[in-house]
Structure 1
Amino acid sequence: MLDSINVGMSGLLGFSRGLRVIGNNTANMNTPGYKSATLQFTDLFYANQANGTEGRTQLGQGLGTAGTTLDFRAADLRQSGNEFDLGIDGGGFFVLRDEQGRTRYTRAGQFDFDQEGRFINRIDGSQVMGLDAGGNLVAISIAGMRAIGGQATRNVRFTGNLSATTPEQTVGSVKVYDAMGGEHTLSVKFTNTGTTTPGSWKVQLLDGSSVVGTTQMVFVDGRPTAATSKFAFTYTPAGRESQELTLDFSSDVTSFASGSLSTLAMTSQDGSPPGQLTKVTFDSQGTLVATYSNNRTARGARLALARFDTTDAVEDLGSNQFGEANGIAWKLGYAGDGVFGSVKAGVLEVSNVDLSREFSELVVMQRGYQASSQVVSTANEMLQELFQMKGGK
């Protein structure tokens, strides 16, 4: 009878552990990146007892637990309202490194930049890691990226109609930038030389009243010829180094009769003044993209993603973080490459806890616990009957 009580007690202990696992899953139903666990049950060893002429009988010793297994299935991605929160659409884990230099892995991308510009995990301050071209883990940071220098203008594009009947036309407000980002206003003067060559114009690039350069432009059937649709000038701003300027008239520039009215004007140029950082985000491949006040962008480090080949390589460390186990290294890569999923900004992966399944398991655990307690009660009653029989003699 005592063996029966022990068997029943093993059931009570096992099902109470199962209830605890279910309770932990349910409590973390809203924890970002949480992976649900399942308790594994196993029967205990059997004892052989002689049974006369009928041979030997194997009697079990009750219920045992063999640890928990984690469900690593990806969960839904939901908007978080924080532009630096990241989610992985597909396989992979973000890579973290704590203050002790230990590497950790997580699906919960609750990230932000600290005052020093480091990209960190908001939960524990560990650094989010990237991967350089050599396959080495590097910290992701915007330190040194808060400002960007100016960019010298190389190409200036024009569109519009240069009236074929006007003797002279000047296009002003041609703003360009030098290598230091300084702004300069130039002008382009067109002088009609069609009396000698039909459709021809003398073109002068002017810096104030100083002539930077002179060339010839020819229109045929109202369109500039391919040979005279682009002009390169060497421009030397005051106190700055020389730079090449290309004036581009090759697209949407015409010369038709329109009296004294010309609509020819500069529409774009590729230079820029210095700029300050205005926005930071990550693209689908996990690359940091910085946007500046001068509309330029710069690309920084690329996020590292990790994966494992077997669950034997995974140790659950809590706080939605995992580590390497049994000396089995995880594999590193980039978002969007091979088996790794793409990165999405402004979202978080929710818990993959399935409440319907948890409640169903809860009923099973409850019934199992009730049945085990009934075994203990029945064995106890039978022992009492035995004691009463001995007392009656």
Structure 2
Amino acid sequence: MLDTIYVGMSGLMSYSNGLRVIANNTANLNTPGFKGSSLQFADMFYSNSESSGGQTFGQGQVGYGVTTYATSMNFKQGELRKTGNDLDLAVDGTGFFVLRNAEGQIQYTRAGQFEFSPQGVLVNRSDGSEVMSSDGAGGFTNISLDQFRTNDAKATQTLSFQGNLPSTTTNAQTVSNIKVYDASGADHTLTLSATRTGTNWALKLMDGTTTVGSGTLEFADGKPTDATAKISITYKPTGQPDMPLVLDFSGEVRSFASGDVSTLALSKQDGYTAGSLSAATIDGTGTLVLSYTNQQTVKGGQIALARFDSADAAIAVGDNQFQARDPSAWHIGVADGKTFGVIRSGEIELSNVDLSQQFSDLVIMQRGYQASSQVVTTANEMLQQLFQMKSK
């Protein structure tokens, strides 16, 4: 009877552990990046019993109950949900974000809820762990805004034009409000004057009434000739060093008969003023993309991703994070759309817990616990009856 009570108690303990695992899964139903677990059950050791009467007709094995081993984690990807926050990131694939905590330990997570700290470092929002980027030499470095808070001015070097210079007109044509930037980022407004001389056009670039430079644009079959399609001049803004400028007509400039009205216009120029950081986002490769008030964009560090060969290589440590049980089974890379997956900006990965499955398992645990409890109660009653018989 005592053995039977022990077997029943093993069931109570095991189903109690199973209930705890289910409770943890359901409690984390809305935890970003959470991975559900299942408990491993196993029967305990056995002993052999011989038949009575001194003759061995066969041996039967008598079990000693049930026990539980480690939990098995399910690393299936959870649903991705949009949040609207550019620094909420999700990995669509097998990769994990790499974090380094205050103690210098490397940990991994699927919950990409990040932000920039007051020091400009990309960190995990929950505990301040730094988000890692690969340094290209097998190590890690953080992702910082320190060198990206401003974007220096760039002096204009090329002015590109488009449009038609009518081949039948004798009137001078003018392109006004041509804005260029010097090395300090200050803008200057220039004017291009074009006067037809036969099949050619005499060009003058002017700053107010001062001629900055001149050249001749020749056409053949309505297109600028290779020799004259790009005209180099030197412009010296007041108080600034010389600015070499190239007037580029090689793209979409033509000269056909179309009345007296020119459509020649500036299509683009490559200079800009200085700008300050206006936004920081992450693209699909995990690369930091920085936008500035001068309409420029610059790319920074690339987020490192990790993956493992076997689920046994990872151990949960809380805060939606994992550590490497077997570091040799982990591999470091970046979002590639294949091995490590891609990064989705403005989304988070939800828990992968299947609530309907948890409810089904809950019923099984409850029935198992009730049955084990009934076994203990029955064995106890039989033992009481045995004691009563002995007392009589």
Settle same-fold status: TM greater than 0.5.
Answer: yes
1:38 counterpart residue number: 38
**Distance in 2 between the 1:268 and 1:58 partners?**
88
The question of whether the paired residues in 2 share the 8 Å contact of 1:313 and 1:324 is answered with yes
Does structure 1 conserve the Cα–Cα contact (< 8 Å) formed by 2:162 and 2:264?
A: yes
Residue deviations 1:259-317 (CA, integer Å, cap 9, x gap): 55323221211111111111111111000000111111100000000111123321210
Worse-superposed segment, 178-187 or 312-321: 178-187
Task: Write the distance in 2 (CA, Å) between the matches of 1:191 and 1:250.
Answer: 18
Letter in 2 for 1:239: G
- 1:157 is aligned, of 153, 157, 160, to 160
Q: What is the distance in 1 between the residues matched to 2:328 and 2:273?
A: 51
Give percent identity, aligned residues only: 52
* Cα distance change on mapping 1:160 and 1:240 into 2, 3 Å: same
Moved more, 102-111 or 325-334: 325-334
Structure 1 distance, partners of 2:340, 2:376, is 52
Which of these residues, 119, 137, 141, is aligned with residue 140 of structure 2? 137
1:114 maps to 2:117: yes
Most deviating of 177-186 and 92-101:
177-186
After TM superposition, the score normalised by the length of structure 2 is 0.94
Other-structure match for 1:68 = 71
In the alignment, the residues of structure 1 paired with residue 387 and residue 136 of structure 2 have an alpha-carbon distance, to the nearest angstrom, of: 79
Which amino acid in structure 2 is aligned with residue 14 of structure 1?
A: S
Per the TM alignment, residue 357 of structure 1 is displaced from its structure 2 partner at its CA by 1.1
Match of 1:11 in 2: 11
Distance 1:7 1:225 in 2: 97
The amino acid across from 2:67 in the alignment is: G
Q: Deviations over 1:221-266 (max 9, x none)?
A: 4433333222222333333333332212223323345555323221
- Kept in 1, the 8 Å contact 2:162–2:251? The answer is yes
Q: CA deviation at 1:193?
A: 1.4
Answer yes or no: is the 8 Å Cα contact 1:313–1:326 preserved in 2.
Answer: yes
What is the CA distance between 1:55 and its match in structure 2? 4.0
Whole-angstrom distance in 2 between the partners of 1:259 and 1:366 = 91
Alpha-carbon distance between aligned partners in 1 of 2:360 and 2:351, rounded to the nearest angstrom: 18
Counterpart secondary structure, 2:148: coil
One-letter code of the match for 1:187? T
Counterpart for residue 193 of structure 1: 197
Contact 2:152/2:273 (<8 A) preserved? yes
Whole-angstrom distance in 1 between the partners of 2:229 and 2:106: 58
Note the residue ranges of structure 2 that are not aligned, 5 or more in a row: none
Deviation at 1:359, TM superposition (A): 1.1
SS in 1 for 2:251: coil
- Alignment partner for residue 77 of structure 1, among 77, 80, 86? 80
**Secondary structure of 1:335's aligned partner:** coil
CA RMSD in angstroms, aligned pairs only: 1.8
Q: Which amino acid aligns with 1:116?
A: Q
- What amino acid sits opposite 2:166 in the alignment? S
Whether contact under 8 Å (2:75, 2:311) holds in the other structure is no
Whole-angstrom CA distance in 2 between matches of 1:166 and 1:9: 107
* Matching residue's letter, 1:312: D
Is 2:183 the counterpart of 1:184?
A: no
Cα deviation code 1:3-56 (max 9, x no counterpart): 000100100110011011111101111110000000000111112334341343
Offset from partner CA, 1:160-201 (integer Å, 9 cap, x none): 23233133223221111122322122222212211xxxx111
TM-score, normalising length from structure 1?
A: 0.94
Check conservation: 1:168, 1:192, Cα contact below 8 A: yes
The Cα of 1:389 is off from its aligned counterpart by 1.2
User: Following TM superposition, by how much is the alpha carbon of 1:139 offset from its aligned partner in structure 2, in angstroms?
Assistant: 0.3
Q: Which moved more, 1:35-44 or 1:150-159?
A: 150-159
Q: Which residue of 1 aligns with 2:387?
A: 387
Which residue number corresponds to residue 59 of structure 1? 62
Equivalents in 2 of 1:338, 1:84: separation in Å?
22
Aligned residue for 2:247? 247
Is residue 2:320 matched to residue 1:320? Answer: yes
From 77, 94, 105, the counterpart of 1:102: 105
Give distance in 2, aligned partners of 1:328 and 1:340.
Answer: 17
* 1:356 shift after superposition: 1.5
Quote the Cα distance in structure 1 between the aligned partners of 2:171 and 2:84. 60
**Hey, what does 1:25 align to over in structure 2?**
25
Name the CA distance, whole Å, in 2 between partners of 1:191 and 1:31.
Answer: 71
